[in-house]
Amino acid sequence: MKIVVLDGYTENPGDLSWEGMEALGELKVYDRTPADKIVERIGDAEIVITNKTPISAATMEACPAIRYIGVLATGYNVIDVDTAKARNISVTNIPTYGTDAVGQFAIALLLEICHHIGHHNEAVHKGRWENNQDWCFWDYPLIELAGKTMGIIGFGRIGQTTGRIAQALGMKVLAYDSYKNPALENENCHYAELDDVLAQSDVIALHCPLFPSTEGIINKDTIAKMKDGVIILNNSRGPLIVEQDLADALISRKVYAAGLDVVSTEPIRGNNPLLNAPNCIITPHISWAPKESRQRLMDIAVNNLKAFLDGSPVNVVNQ
Each residue of 82-102: pLDDT tens digit?
A: 999 999 999 999 999 999 999
What confidence tens digit (pLDDT) does each residue in 60-76 have?
A: 999 999 999 999 999 89
Residue among 168, 241, 239 at smallest CA distance from 204: 241
User: pTM value?
Assistant: 0.94
| Buried/exposed code over 51-63 (b: 16+ C-beta within 10 A; e: otherwise) | bbbebeeebbeeb
User: Domain 99-282: which CATH class?
Assistant: alpha beta
Q: CA-to-CA distance for 168 and 150, rounded, in angstroms?
A: 12
User: What are the residue ranges of CATH 3.40.50.720 in the chain?
Assistant: 2-97+291-309, 99-282
Give the pLDDT score at 275.
Answer: 98
Q: Which amino acid, one-letter code, is at 135? A: W
Altogether, the residues listed in the chain come to a count of 319
Give me the residues of the chain with pLDDT under 70, please.
Answer: none
Q: CA-to-CA distance for 81 and 57, rounded, in angstroms?
A: 9
Write the CA distances from 30 to 8, 53, 77, 78, 98, integer angstroms: 6, 11, 21, 18, 23
Domain spanning 2-97+291-309: CATH 3.40.50.300: no
List active site positions: 237, 266, 285
- CA trace torsion 155, 157, 162, 168 (10° rounding): 100
